[in-house]
Amino acid sequence: MPEHTFRVNGEQVTVNVADDVRLLWVLRDVLGITGPKYGCGINVCKACTSHLNGKAVNPCAIPVGELRPTDEVTTIEGLATGEDLHPMQQAWLDHDVAQCGYCQPGQIMAAVALVERVAAEGRAITDEDLDGIRNICRCGTYFRIREAIRAGAANM
Amino acid sequence: MTGPHGGAPDEGIGRRRFLGYVVAAPTLVAAAELVPPAPPAAAAPAPAGLPELTELLDLNDVMTAAALPTSALISVEVRPDGTVAFALPRAEVGQGITTSTAMLIAEELAVPLERVRVTLADARPELLFNQLTGGSNTTISTYVPIRVAAAIARDRLLAAAAAELGTPVTGLTMKAGMISDRSGRTIDLGALAEKAASTRTQQVSVRLAPRESFTVIGRPHNRVDARDAVTGRKKFTMDLDIPDARPTMVCRPPTINGKVGSVANLAEVRAMPGVTDAVVISTGVAVRAETFGQCIDAVRALKVTWRPGTTAGKSDESVLRELHAAELPMGLRPPTPVVEGAFTFYFRSNSALEPNCAIADVRDGRAEIWSSLKSPIVAQQAIAAKLGLPVGKVTVHVTEGGGSFGRRLFFDAALEAAEVSQKLGKPVKLMWHRADDSRQGRTHPMAISRVRVSYLGDTVLGYKQRHTSVSTDLGHGLGEIFTALAARLPVGDIGFSQTFFHLSQAMSYDFGITSRLLAETDKSFNTGSMRNVYSPDVTCARELIVDQLAARMGKDSYRFRHDFLGDERSRAVLAKVAEAGGWGRPMQPGTAQGIAFHAEYKSVSACLVEIDCRPETVNRPIRDGVGGPRVTKAVFAVDVGLAVNPRGLEAQMMGGIMDGIALALTSSLHLRDGYFLEASWDNYFYTRQWNAPPDLRIIVMPSTSDQPGGAGELGVAASMAAVACAYGRATGTMPTSFPINHGTLSFTPKPTVPPIPPSPADGLNGGGASA
C-alpha cells in the first residue's frame, strides 16, 4: 500500500492508502477528521470545502496521491488557533447562522477563502460575490450567511 | 416562596397546579407525564353553520390527545456538578428544539442555559405515540410537561436549601443556578443535587413560573449547539466512531424499487482494494470497505442484472393522466359567476444535505442502531421484525440529524443497515450516495389541485377545492407500530391521509360554504411527508385564485384578503407585512409584489415578496444551476401564540421562505421511463445564494397566547404562494404548473448504470471552482 505524507491542520501526517482514494475519505475514514462533510461526492454541494495552502478546495475531488509532503490541508477543525475562534466562526455565532449545522463547516471555509480572495484583489465584498457562493444549505440559512460574512470580513 | 419564581397570581397555565414525581435516585430526578396542555378543544361550542373540522380539533390536538392514556414519564436530573440533564424524546434535525427545551428548563430552574444538557432519548417503546417528531408538534406537546418536571426539581432544591441554611423557603431566592437567603448565604444547585434526592418515588404537585416572571422564555437565544457546529465538533451519524463499523454503500437499481436478478462479479468486487464484503440484500447489492471512496468504486464495478421496479415505464405525463382520472368531481357549476383554476405540482425531493444513513451492529442475537430518526419506536419495532429479534434486543439511538424536511420520519437506511449487518455479522456504517438519495429516496408526491369559487357582487358564496395526489406514505403513523400498520391497510390509509389532510387545512377566509377533498392514487412511489406536507400546494392554488377573485371584484389583493380573513390575529399578520413591505408601491415593468396568508399548527403567517422577472435577470448565466426570476425582497410576519425562542423562530421562517421560493420557481424531479432524472445537487435546483432574496425581514408578532404554536414547517406555504402570486402579477399570466421552470430540463441527466457517478479527480485543477 502506498504511503502519502502531507500536512493537516498544522501537523505532518502519513497514511497508507491507495493513490486514487479521494482526500475526503482519507480525512474522514482514515484520519477521523469529520468536520468536512459528504453531501454529493462530485464537487457540487461544497459541504466538504476545506483549504489547501490557503485556497478553498473540495477534498471529494482530490486523489490523495496528488498531495505533496509540503501541502497544508486546513479543515474546519484547524481554522482557529487554540481556543479562540476565527473571526468568521465568531460572526457565525453572533448571527446564529447554523440550523442543522451539516453544511456549515464548508460554508465557513468557503466564506474565509472568499473574503481573503476579495481582500487580495483590494476590494470589498459585493452582493455578486455572495451570490457566487456555491455551497448548498438545505435549511436555507443563506440570509444569515450573507450577514455573517460581511461581519466576519470586517474583523479578519 | 418569593423571588423571581415566587407564587404571584397568574393567568391560565400559571394558575393551575400540575402533578409530577420525584423519582427515587441517588441524585435529584424530577419527572412529569407528557399530558395535553389544554382541555379537549371538542368541548368548545360549535360555530354556526357548517363547522370547519380544524376549528374543532386540529392535527396537533389529535397528536397531543393520543398521548394521554399511554404516556410514560420524562425526567429532569440535577447533577452534583451543577448541570441539569434532560433526554428529549424527539429528534433534533436543525429546528432548534434542543435550544428551546433547554430554555424551558432554564426558566423553571433559574439556572444558566449553559448548565442545561439536552440530549436525544433512545427509542422508548413505553412512550408509544409520544416519540414522534412531526406535525410541528414538539413545542406544543412538550411545553408544559418539561416545565413541570423542572419546576418539581426547583421546589425540591428550595426545600433542601431551606433545611441546609435553616431558613424558611419563603426567605430564599433562586438565580443563576444559586439559591440565596436574605443574609446573603448561597448554595449552588450542584451542592444540593444529592441532598434533594429521594429514596422513594413520590407524587407531588407544583405551580409553574408565572408568565410575567419569565426571563428566558420569549427572549431571543442563540442555539446551544452553535459552537460545536462552527468548529466541526458537532457529531452526525457518519461522524460517530463505532468500533469496526466500516463504510458501506448499496448498488441500486436503474428504476425505482427494482430488484436484483443476478450479480456476475461478486467475487471480483470482493477482491477490490479496501473492500471487505459484498452481499446481495433486498434493495440491491451492499459493499463494505475501508473507505467510502472504495465503496463508490466497488458499487460502480458491480455487474448486476435487475428486475423491473414498481414504477416501470411511468413518466410525468402518465402520472398526470392518472391524477386527472382519480380527481373527485367538483359538481355542477352554480348559476352565479365563478372563478376557477387547475394547478399541477410535480414531484419534489425532500432529500436533506445529510443523506440517508445509519450505523448498525447486529451480532449475537442483539442489534444496536444509530440514526437520526423521527419515529424511533416504529423503527425499533420494524427492525426487530425484519431481523427476527425481540424488540427488547434492539437498541435504537437517536442521533442529531443533518436536516429532515420529512425524510427522517422514515428509517429506510436504518432498516437496510440492520439487514446488511445481520447478513455479514459485522458492524456497518451505511450511507446512501447522493444519487441514491435523489433517485430512490422519498419524494413529495406529484399532485393536482382544482379550485372553484362562486361569488355574487361583493359576497363569496362558496369555495371548493379538489386536491388529487400520488399517495403520500404516512406509514410512520403517529410514531408507533400499531398506528403505522393501520396506515398501511388499503382502507385504513385512505382514512388516515384524509384525516391528516382535513386536520391540517384550515379555511381562514369567510368564503361561505366550503368543501375541500383529497383523493390519492398510485402507491408505487417512495413518498413521504415533505415539510408542510399538503399545505404549500393547497395554499398556493387557493391564494392564486384569491388574487383572481379580488381582481374580478375590482379589489386590491391585500385589501380583499384583509376583508375576508375571519379573525384579528390573521388580519394582524397580513397588515404587518403589507405595512413593513410597502404593499402597493410602484414597481418597474416585469417586477411585482405578491402577498399570501397561511394558518396551521395553531399559528398564523403572512408573506409579502417582490420578484424580478425581467429577461436580463431571468436569463443571467449560472454555471451548473438555474437563475430564473429573482425574489429580491421577502417580508414575513408570524404569530405562533407564544414564541419560546424568537431567534429560532426567525430561523425557521427564513428556511421556510427558501423552501417556498424553490417550490414555486426551481425545484422538482422529472420522471421518465420509471426513474427520476435528477441525481445530485447540480440537477435538483433547491434555492441557492443566487436565488435567495438579498433583502429579507422576519417579524415575530407580540405573543397573543399563553401557549406556543408550531413553527418548523409553518413558513413554507405562505412563501410559496406569495412567490407564485408575485410571478403571476409580474408576468401578467397566472402560473398553473409548479415549479414554473419544470418544462425546461436544465441539465444533462446522469447515467443510471452504474447507479452512481464517478468521483471527480480534478479538484486541484480548478474543477468545480468555488465561485
pLDDT of amino acid B133: 86
pLDDT value at residue A39 = 98
Q: Which residues of B touch A110 (CB under 8 A)?
A: 770
Q: Residue B689 and residue A23: Cβ atoms within 8 Å?
A: no
User: What letter does residue B331 receive in the DSSP assignment?
Assistant: -
CA distance B100 to chain A (A): 13
Mean pLDDT of chain B: 91
- Judged by CB atoms closer than 8 Å, whether chains meet at A40 and B434 is answered as yes
Q: Identify the sign of the CA torsion B195, B197, B203, B206.
A: positive
Strand-pairing partners, residue B19, are B205
- Contact (Cβ atoms closer than 8 angstroms) between residue B420 and residue B281: yes
> For chain B, which domains are there?
12-41+49-216 (3.30.365.10), 237-310+356-431 (3.30.365.10), 327-349+442-738 (3.30.365.10)
Q: pLDDT band for position B499 (50/70/90)?
A: confident
- Annotate A125-142 with DSSP letters as a single string: --HHHHHT-----TT--H
| Residue B62 banded pLDDT, cuts 50, 70, 90 | low
How near does any CA of chain A get to the CA of B717, in Å? 15
A130 lies within 8 A of chain B by CB: yes
Give the model's pLDDT for residue B495: 62
Local confidence band at B37 (pLDDT 50, 70, 90 cut-offs): very low
State the average pLDDT over residues B420-425.
Answer: 98
Each residue of B680-692: pLDDT tens digit?
Answer: 999 999 999 999 9
| Inter-chain CB proximity A42 and B771 less than 8 Å | no
* Sole residue written with cell 415505464: B313
DSSP state of B212: G
Q: Using 50, 70 and 90 to split pLDDT, how confident is the model at B238?
A: very high
Nearest-Cα residue of chain A relative to residue B239? A34
CA–CA dist B571, B582 (Å, integer): 16
Q: Which residues of B touch A9 (CB under 8 A)?
A: none
What is residue B61's predicted lDDT score, i.e. its pLDDT? 56
Contacts of A122 (CB under 8 A, 6+ apart): none
Q: What is the pLDDT of residue B500?
A: 75
A3-78 domain in CATH 3.10.20.30?
Answer: yes
pLDDT for B64: 56
| Strand intervals (E) in B79-122 | 84-88, 116-120
pLDDT at B122 over 80: yes
Amino acid B44: pLDDT: 35
Exposure of B42 by Cβ count < 10 A (0-12 exposed, 13-18 middle, 19+ buried)?
exposed
Q: What pLDDT, on a 0 to 100 scale, did the predictor assign at position B53? A: 42
Tally of CB atoms within 10 A around B348: 25
Out of 1.10.150.120, 1.10.10.10, 2.30.140.10, 3.40.50.300, select the CATH number for domain A87-154.
1.10.150.120
Pair B638, B715: CB distance under 8 Å: yes
What contacts B411, CB < 8 A, 6 or more positions away? B358, B371, B373, B375, B376, B378, B379, B382, B383
Residue B486 has a pLDDT of: 63
Record: contact A140-B655, CB cut-off 8 A: yes
Give the pLDDT of residue B488. Answer: 58
Q: Is the pLDDT of residue B548 over 80?
A: yes
- Give B321's DSSP letter: H
**Which helix (H) or strand (E) covers residue B280, if one does?**
strand B275-281
pLDDT in tens, B81-106: 999 999 999 999 999 999 999 999 99
- Does residue B657 sit at the A interface (CB-CB below 8 Å)? yes
Residues B583-590: what's their mean pLDDT?
A: 98
Dump pLDDT digits (tens) for B281-319.
999 999 999 999 999 999 999 999 999 999 999 999 999
Look at residue B396 and tell me whether its pLDDT is greater than 80.
Answer: yes
Rounded distance between C-alpha atoms, residue A105 and residue B191, angstroms? 39
Chain Cα centroid distance, residue B693: 23
Distance, CA of B608 to CA of B578 (rounded, Å): 7
Query: Residues of A with CB below 8 A from B627's CB?
Result: none
Q: Closest Cα of chain A to B589: distance in Å? A: 23
- Three-state SS sequence of B156-192: HHHHHHHHHHCCCHHHCEEECCEEECCCCCEEEHHHH
pLDDT in the model for residue B482:
57
Please answer yes or no on whether B682 and A77 come within 8 Å at the CB atom: no
Q: Are strands B173-175 and B116-120 parallel, antiparallel or unpaired?
A: unpaired
Q: Residue B215: is its pLDDT beyond 50?
A: yes
Query: Choosing among A100, A125, A130, A134, which should be mutated to test the B contact, i.e. which has the most B CBs within 10 A?
Result: A100
What's the pLDDT at B13? 60
Strands, E assignment, B290-427: 304-307, 338-345, 348-349, 357-363, 366-371, 394-398
**B68 — pLDDT class (breaks 50, 70, 90):** very low
Q: Is A50 on the interface with B (CB under 8 A)?
A: no
**Mean pLDDT score, B268-287:** 98
B241 and A32 in contact by Cβ < 8 A? yes
Residue B585 pLDDT > 90: yes
The backbone region for B457, taken as left when phi is positive above 0, alpha when psi lies in -120 to 50, beta otherwise, is left
User: Which residue has better confidence, B5 or B28?
Assistant: B28
Q: Tell me, what's the pLDDT at B769?
A: 58
Task: Report the C-alpha gap between B310 and B321 in whole angstroms.
Answer: 18
Please count the other Cβ atoms lying within 10 Å of the Cβ belonging to residue B206: 21
- pTM confidence score: 0.94
What three-state secondary structure class fits B443? Answer: strand
DSSP state of B293: H
For residue B484, the model assigns a pLDDT of 64
Q: Output the CA torsion sign for B378, B383, B389, B393.
A: negative
**B689:A63 CB<8 A:** no
| Average pLDDT, integer, range A8-34 | 97
pLDDT at B758: 98
Whether residue B1 is predicted with pLDDT greater than 70 in this model: the reply is no
Neighbours of B262 (CB within 10 A): 11
Q: What is the mean pLDDT of chain A?
A: 97
Find the closest chain A residue to B227 by CA distance: A93
Share of chain B above pLDDT 90, in %: 81
**Cβ within 8 Å of B, A 55-94:** 56-63, 66, 75-77, 80, 85, 89, 92-93
Q: pLDDT by residue (tens digit) across B367-384?
A: 999 999 999 989 999 999
- DSSP class of residue B24 equals B
Instruction: State the average pLDDT over residues B10-39.
Output: 75
- The whole-number pLDDT of residue A111 equals 98
User: Would you say residue A118 has pLDDT above 90?
Assistant: yes
* Beta strands B304-307; B284-289: pairing state: unpaired
What pLDDT, on the 0 to 100 scale, is given for residue B131? 84
DSSP string, chain A: --EEEEEETTEEEEEE--TTSBHHHIIIIIS---SS--S-SSSSS-TT-EEETTEEE-GGG-BGGG--TT-EEE-GGGTS-TTSPPHHHHHHHHTT--SS-SSHHHHHHHHHHHHHHHHHTT----HHHHHT-----TT--HHHHHHHHHHHHHT-
Task: Please answer yes or no on whether A143 and B693 come within 8 Å at the CB atom.
Answer: yes
- Cis peptide bond prior to B757, omega within 30° of 0: no
pLDDT value of position B50: 37
Residue B502 confidence (pLDDT) = 75
* Out of B18-32, B48-62, B726-740, least confident range: B48-62
Higher pLDDT, B266 or B486: B266
Whether residue B523 has pLDDT greater than 70:
yes
Given the cut 0.85, state whether the ipTM is greater than it: yes
Residue B6 has a pLDDT of 37
Partner A contacted by B236 (CB < 8 A): yes
Q: At residue A112, does pLDDT exceed 90? A: yes
Average pLDDT, integer, range A73-96: 96
Chain B contact present for A132, CB below 8 A: yes
Closest CB to A99 among B235, B625, B655: B655
Q: Which of A22, A25, A101 sits opposite B234 (nearest CB)?
A: A101
- Residue ranges of the domains in chain A? 3-78, 87-154
Count of CB atoms within 10 A of residue B8's CB? 12
Contact at 8 Å (CB) between B497 and B489? no
B475 pLDDT band (50/70/90 cuts)? confident
* Cα distances (Å, whole numbers) of residue B441 to A63, B351, B352, B356: 29, 7, 10, 8
Nearest to B125 by CA among B384, B443, B323, B325: B384
Q: State residue B480's pLDDT score.
A: 61
- Average pLDDT of B151-163? 97
